[in-house]
Chains A and B, each alone.
Chain A
Amino acid sequence: MFSYYLKLGLLSIRRNPLMTTLMIAAIAVGIGASMSIITVNYVMSGNPIPQKSDQLFHVQLDSWDPNNPNDDGSFDPPDQMTYTDAMALMKAGKAYRQIASNKSSMVLVPQGDDERPFSILSRNTWADFFPMFDLQFIYGSGWDDAADYNMERVTVLSKETNERVFGGENSVGRTVRLAGMDFQVVGVLDEFHPVPKFYDVTNGAFNEPEEVYIPFNVGIEYEIPRAGNTNCWKPIDGEGFEAFLNSECAFIQFWAELRSDEEEQEYMDFLNAYAEQQKEFGRFPRPLNNRLNDVMEWMEDQEVVEDDARVMLGLSLLFLVVCLLNTIGLLLAKYLGKSSEISLRRALGASRSALFVQHMIESGLIGLGGGIFGLALAWLGLRGIEMLFGDMVENLVGMDWVMVLTAIGLAILSALLAGLYPTWRACSISTAKQLKLQ
């Protein structure tokens, strides 16, 4: 029966090509506009590490100004941590895994006289960064805990950096000159482009990851210049780098891996105990306000999906509504125009439900057509967005199969919804009256 209805639907669609084109175009434009915006929102609000996002926690300690919260409106604690606190938490090691990290800029001097030095960004972090965030290696591995404590000059390169400096060869064991010092390569990462870049949204949620990784302590020991945001509520007491490290300046992102609710509770208790203890030393003058947010909570807290994107999403869905209203009108016109045919089939014995199914299939076919063209338009729309925003959105404009299926599904669903009322109207035509009019 289905294939028969399909045939009838196709016939009917062909009989009135202009109207069909209009309907398919209306659905396609609506799907194209809404899907390109939905895709951007979907990618922005995606889970960058789904396999363990509920076990990774961003840690915040409220070490801020007694007279003035970090954020005037919300009383949130600062999103980054001071060196003093980060080191104390690393030393305590109360979580299953924990890492402090920050961002530096340095110059990489390639070997060979023809190669020109270039400026790169580095993530200064701890050995646990790699297993904690499930980073995959092409060659070698991350460094070990000993390297952190002995301040060994070791480095992990991103795939791109390894290609640029070593032509993509296995560079493990070779040296690379960073910030005026020789570092030994211990590992080369595979492709790694988390979107959002969840472990450092402070310095840009949609930035590319850094090009090299070095031990955090090495960055501190050799005073490698910081490249990320630094926020201080209190003047630095004294001069020199030592004074900066001892200051109330926050520039470190701190993450902990906690495998159960129990571990989370224990860690929260530990943070609060730490804050209480610091209060005894005259630090942490604000009320107790420490936070643990897992990855998705933290993305929400930091409003990673920008308001503009959400406004556009709302407007594009309304746009789809206009296109659907349009389709309903056209379908209604079309189905009512078939009154005599419908009456004839009824008179020959077709049941109402059979006619209903037949017309819903016809609507669905129009939806499918709209979906396919809409997908093409959405792809064009995304290329347009890419052209306008440039490299700021290059990670946001890819459609995965979920989005492709959503587009087709949304189109068919829209067309079926749009077809519902016209079909009902067409099927409830009074047969006898119609036939008499002939």
Chain B
Amino acid sequence: MEIGPIWRAMMRNKTGAILIALQIAVTMAIMVNAISIMQEKSRMMSRPSGLDEHNLFTIQSVGFADDFNERVTIEEDLAALRAMPGVVNAFQTNAIPLSGSGWSMGLQTEPGAEIDGTGVGLYFVDEHALDTYGVNLIAGENFSPTDITWRELVTNVWPGKTILTVAMAETLFPDDAMSALGKTVYINDTQPITVTGIIEKMQGSWPSWDGFERVMLVPHLLPWEDTQYLIRTEPGMRDELMPQVEEMLAETNKGRIVRRMRSMDEIRERAYRDESSMIKILTFTIALLVAVTSLGIVGLASFSVNRRTKQIGTRRALGATRVAILRYFMTENFIISLLGVSLGAALTIGLNILMIETFALTRIAWYLVPAAMLILLGIGQAAVLGPARRASSVPPAVATRTV
């Protein structure tokens, strides 16, 4: 190989090479860190909710008439909803998973105000909830109709039963999550509640909360003017049923307004809109960045080919084959790119450390660095191919002409 002469030629005109190498290095630092952020975001988004998401939707009912009766309305609504053809089940609740608004409490395994409870997302439900959510009860039993009572508007009295997610049971009983079944836990510092069931997986209201998968279900109906229903339909029936349900609720009681009807898919899309948008922006940024860097390589290589036309001609005249010329420029670019990606690896890790310290981001996966090095080397070779081929087609006769 002719690395020696190529290196010496490069050393005579360092600046151009250094600029390309630097550009490749910074490109790599941005690219790898951006990909790492994208991975983190998509991990966050891919956590399963445990729900039968595609067949769920929610609707809000807000009573305003002077003679509006919350309890009667809710009971009638639920009966009507459950009787609708195509509806699998429905119940009234205080909050919808992933929706960004909800209720949280603390639970503890020993009573006492001085003990720090474990934060948990809380949903008020009735015996139809498990079937409506589509969650998997792996131990214990569902609430029975007799467990369900009306909650007072402002109260600190809690029913004696709860169903927890495995994630919550695990936090309370780290040795054996399943041992939570039948145990007494305490809410409001001192009030005992028995764990009567454990569900495999469910999510709370706030995706960025570290207690997102810690959930407790509390058997209560809520006599609220402003309330929500969660409705599960037969597969594929959701879009057809949504307007029907809206109309049915609006028609059966004129003393309320029906609003904010959203499918669970919409709620998920909105919950992760920041994340999915950031993934899209970063993808676009990386594409643009690679394009800019490749164009830079093309531009500088073309310039260098133009400037060396005469030398190339001379080499050709002295017997160098076209392949040798091609190889010259390819090798030159390879050396520059190799310097670039090596510096890039250091920059990437440096930037990552900075971001971990400033923004509590995660560490980049080890394989991203070598993968990015290979990809950028490949991109460099592809970018230089055009100018190099043009160089190789310089006829030997050029050597005989004056400029």
Contact = CB atoms under 8 A, between A and B. Distances in A.
Nearest to B157: A239
Given A315-B285, A326-B292, A337-B306, 15 more contacts: A19-B303, A25-B295, A107-B62, A225-B224, A311-B359, A318-B30, A322-B26, A323-B292, A325-B26, A329-B300, A330-B299, A332-B16, A333-B299, A389-B274, A392-B274
A325 B274 contact: no
Secondary structure class of chain A's binding surface, majority of residues:
helix
A29 B26 contact: no
A351 interface: no
Interface in A282-337: 307-308, 310-312, 314-316, 318-319, 321-323, 325-326, 328-330, 332-334, 336-337
Nearest to B104: A231
A117 interface: yes
A349 interface: no
B46 interface: no
Interface in B285-329: 285, 288-289, 292-293, 295-296, 299-300, 303-304, 306-307
Contacts of A328: 19
A119 B62 contact: yes
Interface of A: 19, 22, 25-26, 29-30, 33, 67-68, 105-107, 109, 116-119, 179-180, 225, 234-241, 243-244, 307-308, 310-312, 314-316, 318-319, 321-323, 325-326, 328-330, 332-334, 336-337, 384-385, 388-390, 392, 421, 425
Nearest to B27: A322
B285 A244 contact: no
Secondary structure class of chain B's binding surface, majority of residues:
helix
A171 B139 CA distance: 61
Contact of A310 (B16, B224, B277, B359): B359
Interface residues on B, range: 35 or more
B18 to A, nearest CB: 9
Given A307-B359, A323-B292, A329-B300, A243 B188 contact: no
A29 B299 CA distance: 16
A240 B26 contact: no
A213 B300 CA distance: 63
Contact of B113 (A67, A117, A323): A67
Contacts of B113: 67, 234
A314 B226 CA distance: 44
A26 B293 CA distance: 9
Contacts of B29: 318
A329 B19 contact: yes
B64 interface: yes
Interface in B28-67: 29-30, 33-34, 37, 62, 64-66
30 contacts: A19-B303, A25-B295, A67-B113, A105-B62, A180-B66, A225-B224, A234-B113, A236-B155, A238-B156, A240-B154, A241-B154, A243-B154, A244-B154, A315-B30, A315-B34, A316-B285, A318-B26, A319-B30, A322-B289, A322-B292, A322-B293, A323-B292, A329-B19, A332-B16, A334-B303, A389-B274, A389-B277, A392-B274, A421-B15, A425-B15
Contact of B257 (A117, A225, A307, A330): A117
B277 A236 contact: no
B264 interface: no
B380 to A, nearest CB: 14
Interface in B1-27: 15-16, 19-20, 22-23, 26-27
Nearest to B269: A390
A308 B273 CA distance: 13
A-B residue pairs, 7 tightest by C-beta: A107-B64, A388-B277, A333-B303, A326-B296, A235-B188, A329-B19, A325-B23
Contacts of A106: 64
A289 B388 CA distance: 70
Interface string B152-165: 11111100000000
Given A119-B257, A318-B30, A337-B307, A236 B19 contact: no
Contacts of A385: 277, 281
A210 to B, nearest CB: 16
B274 A29 contact: no
Interface string B336-351: 0000000000000001
A427 B333 CA distance: 28
Nearest to A340: B403
B280 interface: yes
A67 B64 CA distance: 42
B116 A68 contact: yes
A311 B278 CA distance: 11
B355 A308 contact: no
B64 A326 contact: no
Contacts of B285: 33, 315-316, 319
Contacts of B351: 318
B225 A236 contact: no
Contacts of A325: 19, 22-23, 26, 296
B300 A333 contact: yes
A359 to B, nearest CB: 16
Contact of B288 (A33, A67, A180, A314): A33
A225 B155 contact: no
B114 interface: yes
A18 B242 CA distance: 57
A236 B19 CA distance: 67
B102 to A, nearest CB: 11
Given A109-B64, A318-B29, A323-B292, A312 B188 contact: no
B361 interface: yes
A310 B359 CA distance: 9
B71 interface: no
Given A119-B257, A240-B154, A311 B64 contact: no
A200 B285 CA distance: 34
A19 B304 CA distance: 13
Given A105-B226, A329-B20, A239 B154 contact: yes
Nearest to A330: B299
Contact of B280 (A236, A329, A388): A388
B2 to A, nearest CB: 24
B257 A236 contact: no
Contacts of A237: 156
Nearest to B225: A225
Contacts of A118: 257, 259
B116 A333 contact: no
A328 B296 CA distance: 10
A308 B274 contact: yes
B189 interface: yes
A206 to B, nearest CB: 12
B281 A388 contact: yes
B401 to A, nearest CB: 15
Interface string B264-279: 0000000001101110
